[in-house]
Amino acid sequence: MSMAIFRAMLLGLLRDRGALLMSFVLPAVFFIIMAEIFTATTGDSLNLKVIVLDEVRDDPSSRLLDALADADNLQLTIMRGEGDAARNALRSEVRNGGADVGIILPAGADPLDMAGGFGEAPIRVVSDPSRAVAVPMLVGAIRQAYFGSMPDVAMGNVVEELENQFLTLDEEQRLEVEDGLDEMRVDAEAGRSTGWSFEDMIASEDVIGEVGALNLVAYSAGAVAFMFLLFASVHGAVSLLEEQESGVLDRVLAGPGGIGVLINGKFLYLVLQGVLQVTVIFIVAWLGYGLDLPGHLLSWFIVTLIASCTAAGLAMLLATACNTRRQAQTIANTAILVVSAIGGSMVPRIFMPESLQQLGWLTPNTWALEAYSGIFWRQDSLLEIWPPLGAMLGTALLAWLAANWVAQIRVYGRASEARRSGGDATGTNVEQRAL
- For residue 13, pLDDT over 90 is answered with no
Q: How far apart are CA 131 and CA 100, in angstroms?
A: 7
CA separation (Å) from 61 to 49, 104, 129, 136, 420?
A: 19, 11, 26, 20, 82
Q: How far apart are CA 392 and CA 329, in angstroms?
A: 22
What is the crossing angle of helices 364-376 and 325-343, to 10°?
50
Over the chain, what is the mean pLDDT?
79
Domains, the chain: 48-166+196-207 (3.40.1710), 212-433 (no CATH)
- For residue 430, pLDDT over 50 is answered with no
Model confidence at 432, pLDDT cuts 50, 70, 90, reads: very low
Regarding predicted confidence, which is higher, 114 or 285? 285
In which element (H, E) is residue 10 found? helix 2-15
Burial class (CB in 10 A: 0-12, 13-18, 19+), 365: buried
Model confidence at 143, pLDDT cuts 50, 70, 90, reads: confident
Q: pLDDT (tens digit, 9 = 90+) per residue, 190-223?
A: 665 555 567 778 888 887 654 444 567 888 889 8
Model confidence at 313, pLDDT cuts 50, 70, 90, reads: very high
At 194 the pLDDT is 53
pTM of this prediction?
Answer: 0.69
- For residue 395, pLDDT over 70 is answered with yes
Q: pLDDT (tens digit, 9 = 90+) per residue, 340-382?
A: 989 988 887 777 777 888 899 999 999 999 999 888 877 888 9
At 367 the pLDDT is 95
Q: pLDDT (tens digit, 9 = 90+) per residue, 87-102?
A: 999 988 888 778 889 9
Q: How far apart are CA 415 and CA 434, in angstroms?
A: 7
Instruction: Tell me which DSSP letter residue 170 carries.
Output: -
CA 428, distance to chain mean position in Å, is 50
Regarding predicted confidence, which is higher, 161 or 287? 287
Q: pLDDT (tens digit, 9 = 90+) per residue, 249-268?
A: 666 666 666 788 888 999 99
At 304 the pLDDT is 96
| Residue type (1 letter), 424 | D
At 346 the pLDDT is 84
